Amino acid sequence: MTTLTMPRRAWVEQVMGLPISIHLRGPSVRNVDVDECVQATYDELRAIDLLFSTYRPDSEVSRFNRGELALADAHPLLREVAVLCDLARRRTHGCFQSWLPNPDGGTWWDPSGVVKGWAAERAAHRLSRLAGHDVSVNAGGDIAVSPGRYDSTPWRIAVEDPDRRGPGGPPLAVVPLAAGGIATSGTSARGLHIHDPHTGRPADKVRAVTVVGPSLVWADVYATAAMVMGPAALDWLESLAEYDGLVVGPQGVQATSGLSATVTQG
Amino acid sequence: MRRIVLAFVTTVSALVMLFSYHTSTMGGGVPTTAVGTGSSTQTQSQTAPDTTTSGSAGGSGSGSGGDGTYTGDSVDTRWGPVQVQITVSGGKVTRAVAVVFPSGNRRDQEINGYALPVLAQEAVTAQSAQIDHVSGATVTSDGYVASLQSAIDQAHL
């Protein structure tokens, strides 16, 4: 059975303010245990949202920000993410920051930039327990892929052209991904929502950055950091082991060496 | 404010995806929809929507609610109140507009023109272009989901 005829199914739910879709390929996608595992995965994503949402006043993150919860007393997953946030800041020379300005003019801890990729990757790992299935999880355009044991043909991931969003628009690149993650940060969907933590100014030097590598968590973090780095992003991405990137900026579309073959537009 | 507008667009696109593959059990809680996607070489029957959903407690299993217009609750977001109205025809959302949105926003017509065609790229492309996913700038829906959901609930979709 080839990939073209491999049965596949997809689910989508709104969780964490995002459409999160789960895609499975494999001979048994219609089995009951598949449905059960998918629902358990969404259950966990909702539980993660309850812990981490900055919109829910009763989330642990909100309680932490109000000073009502010490990190030491927080849920183990919260502490895990706190460690990742700290690591993300250090690995990006401070260009990724989870302490962000809040609407009241102060700062608060907003780990959303890590949580989304981390949760999607966690979901993909959980689903990979379904023996014989390839898994991909798409959290609002950031995608985690776990290989199955039956068919590990790469998923084909189109990278959106920020100037031509929407279906049918020619992609900037098509990246084959058998395992790992791919994430895009940019200004096209949410405007200038990324700020340079060093200056507080919007990151507006490049318009979009896509990063691909073994982990969606880090692909996502590096894409955000590269937006902040602007003109220096491409060289920095090239310096990262195991990760590659695509930068859309004043010089057009530029790719690190590992991705240049995937680019379909100049 | 631009982010709000586009956030709404993506919410609608997600919703449209949900309804495009609408099954039946959206009545309670978070909508769960199973969609069948297939490659371009599959037959139509293989790419038809699945008829099963699970985990959506309170789902009625009944068909769609009545056609008409449903207005969701006003939901406060950090940028201001948002209220969403949907138009349902033949059990599908044919139109979704924000009837209340943060001030300074004059792009609703653009939203309407754009939102429905957007149609959840990943689901569409999976069936058409040998592409499984699209990676793009993050889509978010923030407070819009709540108002949309209440409109959906009223429509008993």
Contact present, B125 and B131 (Cβ < 8 Å): yes
Q: Among residues A96, A116, A147, which one ends one of the domains?
A: A147
Burial of A105 (0-12, 13-18, 19+ CB in 10 A): exposed
Amino acid at B5: V
Domain housing A234: 154-266
Burial grade of A241 (CB within 10 A; 0-12, 13-18, 19 or more): exposed
Contact: A12, B18; criterion CB under 8 Å: yes
Tens digit of pLDDT per residue, chain A (266 long)?
A: 444 567 877 777 778 877 788 888 888 888 889 999 999 999 999 999 999 998 899 999 999 999 999 999 999 999 999 999 999 999 999 999 999 887 788 889 999 999 999 999 999 999 998 877 889 998 888 999 987 655 568 888 888 888 765 444 567 888 999 999 999 998 765 555 677 887 777 777 899 999 999 999 999 999 999 999 999 999 999 999 999 999 999 889 999 998 888 887 65
Q: Please report, for the domain that includes residue A7, its CATH number.
A: 3.10.520.10
Q: Which of A147, A182, A199 lies at the terminal end of a domain, its last residue? A: A147
Single pTM value for the model: 0.67
Same domain, A136 and A206: no
Q: Domain check: are A6 and A115 in the same one?
A: yes
**A–B interface: beta-carbon pairs under 8 A:** 186
Residues 44-83 of B with CB under 8 A from A: 46, 50, 52, 54-55, 78
The reply to whether A131 and A188 lie within a common domain is: no
Are A88 and A191 in the same domain?
A: no
Question: Is the CB of residue B37 less than 8 Å away from at least one CB of chain A?
Answer: yes
Quick one: A6 and A135 in the same domain?
Answer: yes
Contact B7 A190 (CB under 8 A): yes
CA distances in angstroms from B15 to A117, B83, B89, B94, B116, listed in the order given: 22, 15, 14, 11, 9
Nearest to A18 among B121, B129, B139 (CB): B139
Quick one: closest CA in A to B1, which residue? Answer: A191
With CA atoms as reference, report the closest residue to B124 among B17, B15, B22.
B17
Query: How would you label A196-211 residue by residue, b for 16+ Cβ within 10 Å and e otherwise?
Result: bbeeeeebebbbbbbb
Question: A123, A147, A171: which is the final residue of a domain?
Answer: A147
- Do A79 and A11 share a domain, yes or no? yes
Same domain for A135 and A26: yes
Interface test with B, best of A21, A216, A220, A221 (most B CBs within 10 A): A21
In 3D space, the residue among A211, A66, A33 whose CA is nearest the CA of residue B135 turns out to be A211
Strand (E) positions, chain A? 8-15, 18-25, 99-101, 107-109, 134-139, 142-146, 155-159, 173-177, 180-186, 208-213, 244-249, 252-255
- A75 and A174 co-located in one domain: no
Number of domains making up chain A: 2
